Amino acid sequence: MRAINMPRDGLPVTTARDMARDESIGQQFTLKTEVVIVGSGAGGAMTAYELAKAGRQVLVLEAGRYHPSSLFTEHLGDTMTEVYRDQATQFNTTADVLFAEGACVGGSTVIGACVMQMPPDSLLRRWETELGLSNLAPARFKPLLDEVGKEQYLHLNEAHEINTTAHKVIQGCERMGFSWKPVSRNVRQCALTGHCLAGCPSDRKMSSLVTHLPWAVAHGARLMADTEVTRVLISNGRAYGVEAVVRDPDTGRKIADLRVEADVVVAAGGAIQTPLLLQRSQIPDPSGQVGKNMAVQPFVQVLARFKEELHGFRGALVGVEIDHFVENEGYMFFSALAEPEQLMIQGNQGAGADHIRFMKSYKHLAGLNAFAIDEGRGEVTWKGGLEDGRKVISWNPSRSEFEKLKHGAALAARVFFAAGAEEVFIPSFQQISATSVFDLDPALDEISYGVRGLYSLRINSFSAHGTCRMGVDRYQAVANARGEVYDVKGLFIADASLIPEPMPSAPHWTVQALAKQVAQGINQRSRELFLS
Amino acid sequence: MPTAKEPSRDQSDQAAARQVTAPLAAVTRRRFMKGVLLGSAGLAVAAGGTFAVLRRSPVDQQPVPEGIRHLSQSEYHLFRRAIDVLLPLAGSALTPVAEVPVLANIDAMIGTLPAHIRKDVASGLMLFDNAAVVSGWHGRRFVDLDDADAVAYFDRWSRGSVIQRTMNTVIKQFVYVSYWRDPKTWPPVEFDGPVSDRWGIAYLGNAPLPEEADA
């Protein structure tokens, strides 16, 4: 009989500081376990829970720091400093597209906006019939999604969770005849602080920090933070562990080199970090697709100024979505308004009186994020050696993606004008606004594609996916339908990099269901996979 | 339960500086653009040098306050002028610049930059200041432009070449981020800032195990 000790608050995490204090740990040490999981975000935490629950010895290694919820200050600048990847400066090569990502225990689930979207049935059917991925057929995959939904306290926003920004979007949609609905979120008893992106100090957001990680720990999983896996150990076509470096998160000082020997390795660092790990590990890669096909779900934020005071930054951060354009045109729209410091980073600001006017109208602003489904042409590459190399994220909009984003911005602007906006601010590197719907097209015409869309629209990405895609053909895909990397037995992927192609919904929910499926598959093959 | 803590001021400055200078870092990563930046900065100084009398500024004689540790004298005066131009708060209800250590914040952020980016920032600032002598035929450096000309100069650079747009963005972001990150600036725009403690929001802790929740 195993004792199940569920931590009611926080997590027992071994940190770099703990290791530095422990004199029994030298500068190099080795651990043995059955499963080592690289990354503790949506996919890693789910996999850890499922495998630990099945009685496996599980060790989760997280490169980022452990930042308990109780330490969140609700100051976005603080959170960005401590738990965002590269202190929120993970950019593409031209530094005009930000790839926001969590780098902490719990990963991006800690800093997400709680938006959960079910992948459309049509997409699952396509993956089943056209890509041959029968494991993703609605009949097999939707029960997993339902299970995740239950674990995540998923619910449609209720009336009190729809703030004034969202009400303006609803008003605009009603006048334009666009379909909208409350957003589905993974939060219990939301306190309506509006600080989702800065982490939830009262543990209402159902991040991995308060769900699958403590549940995994309850079933015996161990967690180490500040531990960056540098490569997967592979011999004769089989993964047998990982090498990692433990660093003090504040000083960067190396504390120790760690080697973990394991029967099963699960890469779950997300769509940007996982392909980098596989490249550093020099896996066989018969398809040549590791790091390629990256879909980024680029989005732009359109702001609108209304006559009345809205205080649109108060209440639940994301209230409603416009679902009118998802199936046919590939757009998603979510209401949200950033805090002042973030507005300075994300939007182009005028000089002098213009800027003062803009900020004086902050309480009159509403925001709408326009996401476009992209072509999945991005690439993540590790350049250089294991020790001194660096990541390179290559994505700039193609001309058609640029036009699509611009059209998305135009649609968002029209929704706000229909709701009575006095001025709409276009998300570009130039300072452009329109004061009526009649000025909109000329204003948008000022934004040209130029060279590779460089410094044209202000684009961000929160949800990269597809960089180690799942598929049935080893010459087209990186992992098979079980999530196991082709030609490397015992190496599995359980994160957004598995998603087979660009998807028209926020990937969080899909990632968790995929990870659950991968973990259950590992459990089913335990006799074959667990040598010990 | 641990109590809330803030990251150290240095870490926070470093993060903000990295965000602000990211566009410049990307531009100068490309050798060609770096050459253009350094060449333009040199050329602006040389062209200004041709009109040496015009290049001189009264502010060159003014000292830099003791607390400033990382900005050079000319950079300090450039940012001081940029703050006046970009944040004309007199007569508004917004928090006066005098109550927010904007220059000290900029100085601290600059101090956290890695050497190679710091060098590019210096070149970019020198270009921005000196190019005003010839760009737009102002015949004076940026630090000596009157308010209207200085705003027009920013506006022109916001529509200019990649390097001009980048420096326009970098300077504005240094100033605006240094001002708006300070909680003292939030009440006038009615942004609430952190609220959980103030509202007495109860801490819920970890979610119960699914098997417990089902029971």
DSSP output for A7-39: -SSS--EE-HHHHHH-TTS-SEEEEEEEEEEE-
Q: Contact B8/A363, CB-based, under 8 Å?
A: no
Residue spans of chain B under pLDDT 70: 1-9, 26-55, 135-138, 214-215
CATH of domain A157-187+299-373+398-456: 3.30.410
Q: What is d(CA A257, CA A31) in angstroms, rounded to the nearest whole number?
A: 11
Is A453 touching B (CB cutoff 8 A)? no
Gyration radius from chain A CA atoms: 23
Which of A72, A91, A210 is facing B206, going by the closest CB pair?
A: A210
Q: So where are chain A's domains?
A: 13-86+101-115+204-290+468-529, 157-187+299-373+398-456
Neighbours of B210 (CB within 10 A): 16
Say what the pLDDT of residue B55 is.
66
Say what the pLDDT of residue B1 is.
40
CA distance B118 to chain A (A): 16
Q: Contact B169/A150, CB-based, under 8 Å?
A: no
Q: Contact B195/A360, CB-based, under 8 Å?
A: no
Is A50 touching B (CB cutoff 8 A)? no
Which of A88, A210, A218 is facing B19, going by the closest CB pair?
A: A88
**Strands (DSSP E) along A221-287, which ranges?**
222-224, 227-235, 238-247, 254-267
CA distance A70 to chain B (A): 6
Neighbours of B35 (CB within 10 A): 11
Q: What is the fold of A13-86+101-115+204-290+468-529? A: FAD/NAD(P)-binding domain (3.50.50)
User: Is-contact A35 A58, C-beta < 8 A?
Assistant: yes
- Best mutation site among B3, B145, B186, B204 for testing chain A: the one with the most A CBs within 10 Å? B204
How far is the first Cα of chain B from the last one, in angstroms, to the nearest whole number? 28
Q: How is residue A180 annotated by DSSP?
A: E
Question: Residue B91 carries which side chain, given as an amino acid letter?
Answer: G
CA distance B149 to chain A (A): 11
A278 alpha-carbon distance from chain centroid: 19
Q: Which two three-digit tokens encode residue A335?
A: 């209401």
Say what the pLDDT of residue B23 is.
73
- Best mutation site among B20, B209, B211, B212 for testing chain A: the one with the most A CBs within 10 Å? B209
Residue A381 pairs in a beta bridge with A392
Q: What is the pLDDT of residues B83-124, one digit of tens each?
A: 999 999 988 899 999 999 999 999 998 988 888 889 889 999
Q: What is d(CA A130, CA A134) in angstroms, rounded to the nearest whole number?
A: 10
Using DSSP, state whether B64 is helix, strand or coil.
coil
User: Is-contact A147 A46, C-beta < 8 A?
Assistant: no
CA distance B89 to chain A (A): 7
| Among A residues 469-528, those touching chain B with beta carbons less than 8 Å apart | none
Cβ contacts of residue A201 below 8 Å, gap of 6+?
A69, A70, A71, A72, A73, A74, B4, B196, B201, B203
Q: Which residue of B has its CA nearest to A189?
A: B204
Please tell me the total number of residues recorded for chain A in this structure.
Answer: 532
Q: What is d(CA B117, CA B110) in angstroms, rounded to the nearest whole number?
A: 10
Say what the pLDDT of residue B15 is.
78
CA distance A146 to chain B (A): 13
Say what the pLDDT of residue B7 is.
65
Report the complex ipTM.
Answer: 0.92
Is A202 touching B (CB cutoff 8 A)? yes
Q: What is d(CA B166, CA B172) in angstroms, rounded to the nearest whole number?
A: 10
Is A132 touching B (CB cutoff 8 A)? no
Find, among B144, B129, B122, B166, the residue nearest to B33 by Cα.
Answer: B166
Q: What is d(CA A251, CA A3) in angstroms, rounded to the nearest whole number?
A: 38
| Among A residues 318-337, those touching chain B with beta carbons less than 8 Å apart | none
Q: Contact B15/A314, CB-based, under 8 Å?
A: no
Measuring CA to CA, how many Å separate B163 from each of A36, B123, B196? 46, 11, 43
Cβ contacts of residue B192 below 8 Å, gap of 6+?
A194, A313, A314, B186
Q: Contact A214/B206, CB-based, under 8 Å?
A: yes
Q: Contact B154/A206, CB-based, under 8 Å?
A: no
Which of A7, A82, A86 is facing B206, going by the closest CB pair?
A: A7
Give the A:B interface size as CB pairs under 8 Å. Answer: 205
Per-residue pLDDT of chain A (532 residues; tens, 9 = 90+): 567 888 889 999 999 999 998 878 778 999 999 999 999 999 999 999 999 999 999 999 999 999 999 899 998 888 888 899 988 888 898 878 999 999 999 999 999 999 999 999 999 999 999 999 999 999 999 999 999 999 999 999 999 999 999 999 999 999 999 999 999 999 999 999 999 999 999 999 999 999 999 999 999 999 999 999 999 999 999 999 999 999 999 899 999 999 999 999 999 999 999 999 999 999 999 999 999 999 999 999 999 999 999 999 999 999 999 999 998 889 999 999 988 887 877 666 788 998 999 999 999 999 999 999 999 999 999 999 988 899 999 999 999 999 999 999 999 999 999 999 999 999 888 788 999 999 999 999 989 898 888 878 989 999 999 999 999 999 999 999 999 999 999 999 999 999 999 999 999 999 999 999 999 999 999 999 997 6
pTM above 0.90, yes or no: yes
Which of B1, B147, B195 is facing A74, going by the closest CB pair?
A: B195
Is A448 touching B (CB cutoff 8 A)? no
Which of B150, B176, B189 is facing A362, going by the closest CB pair?
A: B189
Q: What is the pLDDT of residues B177-197, one digit of tens each?
A: 999 999 999 999 999 999 999
| Among A residues 258-287, those touching chain B with beta carbons less than 8 Å apart | none
- Best mutation site among A96, A146, A147, A345 for testing chain B: the one with the most B CBs within 10 Å? A345
Q: Which two three-digit tokens encode residue A116?
A: 């959960």
Q: Contact A81/B12, CB-based, under 8 Å?
A: yes
Q: Which residue of B has its CA nearest to A202?
A: B203
CA distance A423 to chain B (A): 18
Cβ-Cβ contacts under 8 Å, A69 against chain B: 203
User: Is-contact A7 A215, C-beta < 8 A?
Assistant: no
Q: Contact A355/B176, CB-based, under 8 Å?
A: yes
Helices (H), chain B: 9-29, 31-50, 52-55, 73-86, 102-111, 115-131, 147-158, 162-180, 196-199, 210-214
Say what the pLDDT of residue B187 is.
95
Is A344 touching B (CB cutoff 8 A)? yes
Residue A88 pairs in a beta bridge with none
User: Is-contact A464 A296, C-beta < 8 A?
Assistant: yes
Say what the pLDDT of residue B3 is.
45
- Best mutation site among B81, B191, B198, B211 for testing chain A: the one with the most A CBs within 10 Å? B191
Find, among A341, A339, A344, the residue nearest to A367 by Cα.
Answer: A339
